[in-house]
Amino acid sequence: MATQHAIGIDIGGTGIKGAVVDLSTGAIVTERRKVLTPDGGEPEAIIASSTELLEQIGAEFDIEGLPLGVCFPAIVKRGRTRSAANVSKKWIGLPAEELFEKALGRDIHFINDADAAGVAELRYGAAAGVDGLVILTTLGTGIGSALIYDGVLVPNSELGHLEIDDDDAEHRAAYSAKEREDLDWKQWAKRLQRYYSHVEFIFSPDLFVVGGGVSKHQEQFLPLLDLQTKIVPAVHRNNAGIIGAAALALG
Question: What CATH number should be reported for the domain holding residue 222?
Answer: 3.30.420.40
Domain annotation covers residue 107: yes
H or E element in which residue 42 lies:
none
Domain annotation covers residue 125: no
CA dihedral in degrees (156, 161, 164, 167; nearest 10)? -170
Residues 50 and 108 placed together within one structural domain of the fold: yes
Residues 147 and 95 placed together within one structural domain of the fold: no
Q: Which of 191, 189, 190, 202 is nearest to 229 (CA)?
A: 202
Amino acid identity for residue 121 in this structure: E
Distance CA 124, CA 97 (A): 26
Long-range contacts for 184-191 (Cβ within 8 Å, ≥24 apart)?
A: 185/220, 185/221, 185/224, 186/224, 188/221, 189/221, 189/224, 189/225
Distance CA 118, CA 134 (A): 9
Q: Which of 83, 158, 81 is nearest to 118 (CA)?
A: 158
Residues 20 and 55 placed together within one structural domain of the fold: yes
Residues 83 and 157 placed together within one structural domain of the fold: no
Q: How many domains does the chain have?
A: 2
Domain annotation covers residue 201: yes
For residue 161, give Cα distances in angstroms to 62, 192, 202, 242.
Answer: 41, 14, 14, 24
Per-residue pLDDT tens digits of the chain, which is 251 residues long: 356 999 999 999 889 999 999 999 999 999 999 999 999 999 999 999 999 999 999 999 999 999 999 999 999 999 999 999 889 999 999 999 999 999 999 999 999 999 999 999 999 999 999 999 999 999 998 999 999 999 999 999 999 999 999 999 999 999 999 999 999 999 999 999 999 999 999 999 999 999 988 999 999 999 999 999 999 999 999 899 999 999 999 87
Domain annotation covers residue 154: yes
Distance CA 194, CA 171 (A): 13
Residues 97 and 134 placed together within one structural domain of the fold: no
Residues 30 and 66 placed together within one structural domain of the fold: yes
Q: Which of 1, 176, 154, 144 is nearest to 74 (CA)?
A: 144
Q: Please give the residue range of the domain that contains residue 147.
A: 130-234
Give this prediction's pTM. 0.94
